[in-house]
Structure 1
Amino acid sequence: MEVEFAPVETEEHVGQLAELAGEIWRDYWPALIGEGQTEYMIEQFQSADAIKRDMAENAYEYWFVRVREDGAGAEGEPRVVGYTGGHDEPETNRFFISKIYLAAADRGRGFASRIVAFYDELCRERGLSASYLTVNKHNELALRAYRAKGFREIDSVVTEIGGGYVMDDYVMERPVTSRA
């Protein structure tokens, strides 16, 4: 199985990413944060407008996570299994991983490990010392996965995001590992 990271570069890509984000978020998040906050966060942080704003104003980069299944051959179209994105933070010498989201059917298949390896390589290429992310304190699935991949809690934050909602997160960091 070959995993690819296809950059989000065009207006069409942004629309596809926003549609994928909505599907993944509506499947996963209502059980943890409720439907109201899920819809609010999709609009504020996962919509096409939010993606374009983050790319233009905050130098965010986004990638579709795609897989070419074994036996598909070179002519087989890769299948999108999720998306990821974030941005360099020169002031901290780290990469902020804002988003790692996988479709329900593709969780637990090793894609998160491939994404972490992708960020390790990206950080090495850019001379960054670590990557970090925020994780909802009640998202046990993600917390277990990130801990298993070498992320450690370095802070606990509650962030007001408007609409009467807050994000109650751990900040988790992972030093960049050297090549094996």
Structure 2
Amino acid sequence: MEIIPVKEEEIPVLAKLAAEIWREHYTPLLGPAQVAYMVDKFQSEAAIRRQLEQEHYRYYFFRCEGENAGFTGIQPTDGGQKLYLSKLYVARRFRGRGAARQGLEFLMDLCRREGYRAIWLTVNKHNSGSVAAYERLGMTRVRSQVAGIGGGFVMDDYVYEIEVPAENPAANPAENPAAGPA
């Protein structure tokens, strides 16, 4: 899998992929009205452009076998101390191939290079598959929150966080015997 920055001309492709993933995955959790509202507010071309231009977001595609398998969207927070993992979505046909794990490893490396000390995210409390995946990836639930998002809708989420180690333990066999010889 490749992880590559989304180019400005690819924003329509990103928005289309986001809408497909959201409708497929979140409609059973949130219902069609809230999904439509959230796609328009957070995943539309206009929303993505605003996030990139005004909110310091960066987006990356996950490419697998030449196709866009998913994406991530990140934003610095806490005065540049933490990285908000706003979006980490993988299309259904590419799930189970390690895209989320590879995406998190990519972000951990990015954090080490850029000096962030932690990554945090929110996840719907009823999104049990994603909650389990984040916990398998080593993230820790730090709190619950309910946030109004307009349109009469709320996000009822858990907040997860993972600290960024100073160096990649897998790269140091002395600290990670499972990594084998260098």
What's the TM-score once normalised by structure 1's chain length? 0.90
**Alignment match, 1:168:** 156
Q: Which of 68, 74, 79 is the aligned partner of 2:67? A: 79
Q: Does 1:103 align with 2:91?
A: yes
Amino acid at match of 1:7: P
Percent identity between the two aligned chains: 42
**Alignment match, 2:53:** 56
Q: Does 1:151 align with 2:160?
A: no
Measure the CA separation in 2 of the matches of 1:90 and 1:24: 29
Q: Does 1:115 align with 2:103?
A: yes
What's the TM-score once normalised by structure 2's chain length? 0.89
Measure the CA separation in 2 of the matches of 1:90 and 1:30: 32
CA positional deviation for 1:92 = 5.8
**Alignment match, 2:11:** 14
CA positional deviation for 1:120 = 0.4
CA positional deviation for 1:9 = 2.2
Measure the CA separation in 1 of the matches of 2:21 and 2:143: 27
Amino acid at match of 1:29: Y
What secondary structure, in the 3-state scheme, does the structure 1 residue paired with 2:31 have? helix
Deviations 1:107-128 (A, max 9, x none): 1111110011011001000011
Deviations 1:32-87 (A, max 9, x none): 0000000000000000000001111111000111024xxxxxxxxx2210011111
Number of residue pairs matched by the alignment: 168
CA positional deviation for 1:8 = 1.4
Deviations 1:153-175 (A, max 9, x none): 11211010000000000110011
Return structure 1 stretches of 4+ with deviation > 2 angstroms: none
Give structure 2 stretches of 5+ with no counterpart. Answer: 171-182
Q: Which of 22, 33, 36 is the aligned partner of 1:36? A: 33
Measure the CA separation in 2 of the matches of 1:87 and 1:107: 24
**How has the CA–CA distance of structure 1 residues 6 and 92 changed in structure 2, closer, same or farther, with 3 Å as cutoff?**
closer
Measure the CA separation in 1 of the matches of 2:3 and 2:40: 24
